[in-house]
Amino acid sequence: NDIFHISLSLVCTVTGQHLPKNKRPKEPGENRIKPTNKKVKPKIPKIKDRDSADSTPKTQSIMMQVLDKGRFQKPAATLSLLAGQSVELRCKGSRIGWSYPAYLDTFKDSRISVKQNERYSQLTLVNSTSADTGEFSCWGQLCSGYICRKDEAKTGSTYIFFTEKGELFVPSPSYFDVVYLNSDRQAVVPCRVTVLSAKVTLHREFPAKEIPANGTDIVYDMKRGFVYLQPHSEHQGVVYCRAEAGGRSQISIKYQLLYVAVPSGPPSTTILASSNKVKSGDDVSVLCIVLGEPDVEVEFTWIFPGQKDERPVMIQDTWRLIHRGLGHTTRLSQSVITVEDFETIDAGYYICTAQNLQGQTTVATTVEFS
């Protein structure tokens, strides 16, 4: 007992604490953690949903505008500049694609240049005019060999208004234009302005009245013009736009709205021979006809019996617009192949293939030797 009291006193002296009452010293090797009945809610680490992250990739703007004295800034969605100013845009990446107003491409304008550097691509436009107003955009390209595709996660764009004195509308190369109305897609009257704050209205020439852009049938988009969301035959006629800004007003060119009777798709093609039985020495013509949309071009190709023998033939392609009543307009495209001094090698199948952007149609007829 004396030995126990001496050991207990040494323990209290070393720790500097007094043992509480009703407590006994721990035996060597005894668990010193006091068991508890308190319930602890386990923490479950948060795991990011990989699928959701992949399905909505973040779009990274890669475009920068170069300012004076070597300063840079990210361009706003829209910019307003005075005509005559130069513009320099840069997009980060070793392979960059560009898009800019078609006007600059149509005339192969030397005022615009694009240069690809090691780490960025540079677009420069000098001596700007109001006609240059439009969208300037760039994107990264993911390439495998010679095949490239657009990298949707790395893009940049800005719409630039080039304001020029006396020009509220973006100039047009003609004084009159035709807009075709198709029931299965939107139609646009391209009244674009050069001043962001301009108020633009749409008007019918006869009977003279303003056409409201109510947001249901017609909406105004400053980057495109007046958009007919669901065109129909009642919309046809001659229209123009009126713009007001800074106490000035201006009227646009006039637009003829024509309703299209033929739906879009591969060519609707018919073939017809002047005669299906031809005597030796006579002439024969085979006609290939397509009825289609007024603004859709059609290309014709022929296969004929005397082709292998290099038989001389005449082929003539023509087209014209025809009105089919109730204001419906259709493009009549046709190709005629003519064989003079018919011989036995000319007998057989005459095959016509008509092709447009939506596809192609092949038709054939036979011409026999009589």
Instruction: Specify the CATH number of the domain 176-259.
Output: 2.60.40.10
Residue 17 has a pLDDT of 47
Please, what is the Cα angle at 297 between 294 and 302, to 5 degrees?
Answer: 130
Residue 348 has a pLDDT of 93
pLDDT tens by residue, the chain, 370 residues: 454 444 444 444 444 445 455 555 555 555 454 555 555 555 555 554 444 444 555 667 899 999 987 799 999 999 999 999 999 999 999 999 999 988 787 667 789 999 999 999 999 999 999 999 999 999 999 988 888 899 999 999 999 999 998 899 999 877 888 888 888 889 999 999 999 999 999 999 888 999 999 888 899 999 999 999 989 888 888 999 999 998 899 999 999 898 876 667 788 899 999 999 999 999 999 999 998 888 889 999 999 999 988 999 999 999 988 765 545 677 889 999 999 999 999 999 999 999 998 899 999 999 998 8
Residue 104 has a pLDDT of 83
Check if 63-163 and 176-259 are the same fold. Answer: yes
Using the 8-state DSSP alphabet, how is residue 220 labeled?
E
Nearest residue to 138 via CA among 127, 152, 148, 128: 152
Domain spanning 63-163: which CATH class is it, in words?
mainly beta
Q: Distances from the Cα of 28 to the Cαs of 15, 31, 364, in angstroms?
A: 16, 9, 106
Fold exhibited by the domain 268-369: Immunoglobulin-like (2.60.40)
Residue 81 has a pLDDT of 94
Q: What is the Cα–Cα distance from 251 to 167, expressed in whole angstroms?
A: 10
The model scores a pTM over 0.85: no
Contact 276, 365 (CB under 8 A): yes
Residue 42 has a pLDDT of 55
Q: What is the Cα–Cα distance from 217 to 200, expressed in whole angstroms?
A: 17
Q: What is the Cα–Cα distance from 189 to 225, expressed in whole angstroms?
A: 6
Percentage helix, strand, coil for the chain under 3-state DSSP, each rounded to 5: 10, 50, 40
For 172-264, strand residue ranges (E) read 176-181, 187-189, 199-204, 209-211, 218-221, 225-228, 237-245, 248-251, 254-260
Q: Which residue has the tokens 């040494």?
A: 10
Strand 63-66: give its sheet, edge to edge.
72-73, 63-66, 87-92, 120-125, 112-116
Domain ranges (residues) in the chain: 63-163, 176-259, 268-369
Beta pairing partners, 92: 120
Residue 294 has a pLDDT of 81
